[in-house]
A and B are shown apart, each in its own frame.
Chain A
Amino acid sequence: MKLALDEYAHLDSPFHRWDPRCKLVGFLAVIFAFSFVRDLRMLAAMVVVTVTIYIVSRLPASFTLSRLRYPSFFLLALVLILPFLAGHTIVMSIGPLDLRQEGLIAALQIATRFLCILTIGVILFGTAPFLTTIKAMRALGLPAILADMLLLAFRYLHEIGGDLHKMQTAMRLRGFNKHRFSVRALRILAWLGGSILVRSYERSEWVYKAMLLRGYGHAPHPRSEFHTRSSDIITLSVFLLVAAGFVAGQILCGSGSGALLQ
């Protein structure tokens, strides 16, 4: 299971150098502005902006393409089914199936928005170490409980994943067939899940004691490690303008502000 999403965080690009707090705000503004877009001309502009940002980020194309392998088959199914089910204007008939214009447009809108938002998200989390991004979220006001849980869960995800892998290998070596359905197999898989939970619980007790020894809960709140330069503010302003431009463009190209609510 490929977990590393920051394997290219060491590269050097304007987005790698950008203050992570400004980057979070700027990229999220663009992501939410993209989700407003319905008009086909604005969809084209969205693709251009996404490709431009991706080129500037210097991330290899293979990075995003490899990330596209996992996204849900659900979306693929939706995009394939909608043109045959949604709408009334029949463009052409393929045997018993009618290809409908409204469904085609809806599928195009969904697929384009999905791909652009996904790509921007990949750049956001791919151009800084994940821990730095979490610290930036904390600096922007994420509650301490959530930030601590995020950091700890991320820290132990790989190890617990390793435990599962080892236990599944041991089961296989003892002759367990993971493809055969039976009540016994269900019970064994439930025990596997239960064992992972018990191991993690026991590990959490040692972790808590180790954290206490390191002053958890008593250490002074660390000062923010982030420094905002004027270039960071300028880049953020550009991103906010782009985001506002897409919202305004959708209002102008669509049917007024009501288009945003569709």
Chain B
Amino acid sequence: MHIPDGILPVPVTAAGYAATAAVTWYSVRKINQQENPRREIPKASLLTAAFFVVSWIHIPVPPTSVHLVLNGLLGAMLGYFAFPAILIGLFFQAVMFQHGGLTTLGVNAMIMGFPAIIAYYIFRLRELGNKQSVRKTAIFGFLAGAVAIVLSVVMFVVILINFLPADLDIATERAAIYTLAIAHLPIMAIEGVITSLVAVFLQRVRPELLESV
């Protein structure tokens, strides 16, 4: 779900970089307002690398397999570090595996990062009332994971279809949107379930990991 180089027009990639710069600036400002921001950097960095590695795990979805995106879980766990973490992950993807691209880094960061921030706020809703409730962690974990991936898919499809440098008629555009959305339905469900399962696992094993850094 990363848009490669060469597809989007320059004003769109420039707007993506401008939005990414603004959100990164805001995230860095929030991080610097914390009591000891340096203390959190190793934790956020290693978890960034860990999320990158966890996304290599393939989940069987017969007849094929999908890899996890986990931007919802990343947002829920990393809080304001989530957006810089996603930016770094996408940069690694672009330069190491040529997934995504350098010119589209800003757009891709918004597609993955903005939903991660929304997921952070959704997951924090579990703190209302009994914070230790496993059921609440499971429900808000599912919602954080599923909503984040739904938002990412919607942003990806809208940007791609609207700014593709080719004339598609309305019927073709609509068919493409429906096809892409339906193709992602199983991924949305699986992301929600896995995010929920990992959140419950972490609550049992290392609950402080769910207290956003």
Known: A149-B41, A161-B56, A186-B194. A71 touches B4 (CB 8 A): yes
Stretch touching chain B among A14-22, A74-82, A229-237 = A74-82
**B48 CB to nearest chain A CB (Å):** 4
Contact among A198, A207, A211 with B209 in the assembled complex (CB-CB below 8 Å): A198
A70–B93 CA distance with the chains assembled, in angstroms: 10
Stretch touching chain B among A55-63, A104-112, A220-228 = A104-112
Give A contacts to B, CB under 8 Å: 1, 3, 5, 28, 31-32, 35-36, 38, 67-68, 70-72, 74-75, 78, 82, 85-88, 102-103, 106-107, 109-118, 121-122, 125, 130, 143, 145-146, 148-154, 156-157, 160-161, 163-164, 178-181, 185-187, 189-194, 196-201, 203-205, 207-208, 211, 216-217, 260-262
Give B contacts to A, CB under 8 Å: 2, 4-11, 13, 24, 28, 31-32, 37-39, 41-54, 56-62, 65, 68, 70, 77, 81, 84-85, 87-89, 91-92, 94-99, 101-103, 164-168, 172, 190, 193-194, 197-198, 201-202, 205-206, 209
- Judging by beta carbons under 8 Å apart, are A1 and B56 in contact? yes
Closest to B27 in A: A145
Contacts of B92 in A (CB 8 A): 153-154, 157
Contact among A145, A186, A198, A204 with B84 in the assembled complex (CB-CB below 8 Å): A145
**A135 CB to nearest chain B CB (Å):** 15
Closest to B173 in A: A85
- Judging by beta carbons under 8 Å apart, are A194 and B205 in contact? yes
- Judging by beta carbons under 8 Å apart, are A194 and B168 in contact? no
Contacts of A186 in B (CB 8 A): 59, 190, 193-194, 197
In the A-B complex, the 7 residue pairs with the closest CB atoms? A113-B6, A190-B197, A152-B45, A114-B6, A86-B166, A106-B166, A200-B50
Closest to A4 in B: B96
- Judging by beta carbons under 8 Å apart, are B206 and A198 in contact? yes
Known: A35-B13, A197-B209, A262-B9. A145 touches B48 (CB 8 A): no
Contacts of B48 in A (CB 8 A): 149, 153
Closest to B81 in A: A149
- Judging by beta carbons under 8 Å apart, are A164 and B91 in contact? no
Contacts of B61 in A (CB 8 A): 181
A122–B205 CA distance with the chains assembled, in angstroms: 41
